[in-house]
Amino acid sequence: MDIHWRNTQKPARFFAVDARAFFAIFLFLVHARLWTFMFACVIMAFFWILERRGLTFEAACRSFRSWILGRNRPANLGRYKRHWIDFG
C-alpha cells in the first residue's frame, strides 16, 4: 500500500484544479449558459491563482480575514476592561 497518513492533509483535486471548483463546473453542466461557463472559469482561475501563491482555500480565507481586521487587534475590548471604583 502506498497510502500514508501524511497524505491526509493534501487538498482534494478534480483533474487539474481544487475539488471545490467542481461545484461551479457542476453548475455549468446542469445549467449550461454563457454566464455559468464564465462563472466556472473565474472560479477555476481563482483556485489556480491561490495554488500558484502556495495557499489553500482555508489559508487564503484566514489571510483575507487578517487583512480585513488590520494590524491593531487588542486582546481585550474596551467595554470588557474593568475600571477603578472609589467607594470612599
The residues, any chain, with a CB within 8 Å of residue 30's CB and separated by 6 or more, are none
Which pLDDT value is given to residue 88?
66
**pLDDT, tens digit, 9 for 90 and up, residues 5-36:** 766 777 777 777 778 888 888 999 999 999 99
Among residues 4, 87, 1, 11, which one has the least CA distance to residue 48?
Answer: 11
**N- to C-terminal Cα separation, the chain:** 77
Which pLDDT value is given to residue 34?
96
Identify the residue whose cell numbers are 453548475: 27
Strands 13-14 and 17-18, by their bridges, are: antiparallel
How long a stretch of residues is the chain?
88
Mean pLDDT of 47-65: 87
